[in-house]
């Protein structure tokens, strides 16, 4: 049996200086055991700023950067349509790859990319950052404790005004590359939906996946802005249901995860840190409902200061990204398995394909 090697310093390079690059570059410039050796972008102004801000070398050409810096790890942070080509280039150059989501538009493309990584003897992994958020860890702990009973339902809900003309996707004069993905702008969130549902309902075989897609906003450049999906599956301890919900109409902005068991349920909101749980208490069945209300009131009271602290400390919804990168770099430095491996990525990608297949059916019905 192969034992992990002693940890070693790793050289890291970044491709792409879009919005998410701030999180990756900020992490890499401060991480112990990592040397940030280069950043690449086609925009001279953007790459010059990033290189100066994070004290690294600027490049305009990816192949040139790979040859000049020989990175152990390359972060691919470019639009999704470029992920396969750039990841392949980095893998062939002998670099591991950490890629933003969605790593590929479809599961067959991901399978091919994983084969390239395997042939190169390198690792390719996709950023599943919300899986590493403290709220998700708290839900994991509560489920593992048995206090909710046996898992029976999972719901992941996102409400974001993606049709807002002043937002990232809504301006028809500034089309995003995300519009070209199979599920349009909602595809930018599909990876989160898929890996979170699969994470909580681990080892569930989804026998039924039904999805309804709608365009409530009526915008030609955003034909779908609403998703409602139902999943039904089976695992060793019984049936599991899941719901995936995306709305551009509901407010306020939220990212809500609810897990329900045979004894109780818990809910966490990732943007603001809200927490709610209803479960049996030590006071007995008759008084548990009252105890839950009292605990819930106290929790909501203290959620305010906690949320304010997160704002002040700039601990936004990407707080899990640092933990994901910590664990990934620790694994790459020692040769241990990365926290988001091929099976995790394939399971998410295959579920996304099944959900997207429902878009055609929805359009036929409408």
The model's pLDDT over 83-134, given as tens digits with 9 standing for 90+, comes to 999 999 999 999 999 999 999 999 999 999 999 999 999 999 999 999 999 9
Residues of the chain with CATH 3.40.50.720: 10-126
pLDDT mean over 159-185: 89
Q: Are 50 and 17 spatial neighbours (Cβ–Cβ below 8 Å)?
A: yes
Q: What is the dihedral of CA 338, 340, 342, 345, to 10 degrees?
A: -170
Beta bridge partners of 151: 261
> Count of residues for the chain?
366
CATH of domain 10-126: 3.40.50.720
Read off the pTM. Answer: 0.90
Return the percentage of the chain with pLDDT > 90, whole number: 76
Please tell me the CATH code under which domain 131-320+353-359 is placed.
3.30.360.10
Tell me the mean pLDDT in the region 57-68: 99
Cβ neighbours of residue 340 under 8 Å, at least 6 residues apart?
A: 125, 126, 127, 128, 131, 195, 324, 328
CA 209 to chain centre: 20
pLDDT of residue 26 exceeding 60, the answer is yes
Residue whose tokens read 């080892």: 203
Q: What is the pLDDT of residue 293?
A: 65
Cis status, amide bond into 304, omega within 30 of 0? no
Per residue in 226-241, pLDDT (tens digit) is 999 999 999 999 999 9
DSSP string, 189-212: HHHHHHHHHHHHTTT-EEEEEEEE
* Model pLDDT, residue 115: 99
**Quick one: pLDDT at residue 313?**
47
Distance of CA 127 to CAs 98, 132, 180, 219, Å? 7, 10, 21, 30
What is residue 316's predicted lDDT score, i.e. its pLDDT? 63
Mean per-residue pLDDT, 195-210: 97
Is the pLDDT at 247 greater than 70, yes or no?
Answer: yes
Residue 364 has pLDDT above 50, yes or no: no
Q: pLDDT tens, 315-357?
A: 566 899 999 999 999 999 999 999 999 999 999 999 999 999 9
CATH 3.30.360.10 domain range(s) in the chain: 131-320+353-359
d(CA 127, CA 10): 18
Confidence at residue 274, expressed as pLDDT on a 0 to 100 scale = 82
- Top pLDDT among 280 and 161 is at 161
Of 72-81, 203-212, 251-260, 352-361, the least confident: 352-361
pLDDT at 365: 44
DSSP letter (8 states) at residue 219: B
- What average pLDDT does range 195-216 have in this prediction? 97
- Contact of 28 with 12, CB cutoff 8 Å: yes
% of residues, the chain, pLDDT over 70: 86
pLDDT of residue 219: 87
Mean pLDDT of the chain: 91
**Strand 226-235 relative to strand 205-214, pairing:** antiparallel
Q: Which residues contact 357 (CB under 8 A, 6 or more apart)?
A: 211
Mean pLDDT of all residues in 33-61: 98
> CA 192 to CA 186: how far, in whole Å?
11
Predicted pLDDT of residue 44: 98
User: 108 - beta bridge partners?
Assistant: none
Q: How much is the average pLDDT of 150-158? A: 98
pLDDT of residue 277: 86
Among 22-31, 124-133, 301-310, 343-352, name the one with the lowest average pLDDT.
Answer: 301-310
* Helices 342-365, 107-120: inter-axial angle, 10-degree rounding: 160
């Amino acid at each position: 049996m192969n034992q992990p090697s002693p940890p070693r310093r790793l050289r890291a390079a970044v491709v792409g200086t879009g919005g998410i690059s701030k999180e990756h570059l900020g992490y890499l410039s401060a991480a112990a055991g990592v040397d940030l050796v280069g950043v690449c972008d086609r925009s001279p102004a953007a790459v010059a700023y990033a290189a100066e801000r994070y004290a690294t070398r600027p490049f305009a050409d990816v192949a040139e950067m790979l040859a000049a810096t020989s990175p152990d790890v390359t972060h691919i942070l470019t639009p999704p349509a470029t992920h396969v080509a750039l990841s392949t280039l980095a893998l062939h150059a002998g670099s591991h790859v950490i890629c933003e989501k969605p790593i590929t538009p479809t599961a067959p493309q991901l399978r091919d990319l994983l084969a390239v990584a395997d042939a190169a003897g390198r690792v390719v992994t996709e950023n599943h950052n919300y899986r590493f958020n403290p709220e998700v860890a708290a839900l994991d702990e509560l489920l593992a404790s048995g206090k909710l009973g046996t898992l029976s339902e999972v719901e992941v809900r996102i409400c974001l005004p993606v049709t807002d003309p002043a937002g990232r996707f809504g301006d028809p004069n500034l089309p995003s590359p995300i519009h070209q993905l199979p599920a349009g702008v909602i595809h930018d969130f599909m990876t989160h939906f898929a890996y979170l549902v699969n994470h909580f309902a681990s080892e569930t075989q989804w026998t039924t996946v039904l999805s309804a897609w709608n365009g409530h906003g009526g915008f030609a450049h955003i034909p779908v802005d609403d998703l409602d999906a139902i999943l039904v599956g089976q695992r060793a301890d019984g049936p599991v249901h899941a719901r995936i919900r995306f709305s551009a109409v509901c407010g306020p902005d939220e990212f809500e995860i609810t897990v329900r068991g045979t004894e109780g349920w818990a809910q966490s909101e990732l943007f603001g840190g809200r927490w709610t749980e209803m479960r049996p208490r030590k006071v007995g069945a008759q008084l548990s409902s009252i105890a839950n209300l009292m605990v819930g009131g106290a929790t909501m009271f203290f959620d305010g200061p906690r949320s304010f602290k997160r704002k002040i400390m700039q601990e936004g919804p990407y707080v899990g990204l640092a933990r994901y990168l910590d664990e990934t770099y620790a694994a790459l430095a020692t040769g241990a398995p990365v926290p988001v491996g091929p099976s995790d990525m394939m399971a998410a990608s295959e579920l996304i394909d099944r959900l997207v297949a429902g878009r055609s059916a929805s359009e036929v019905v409408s």
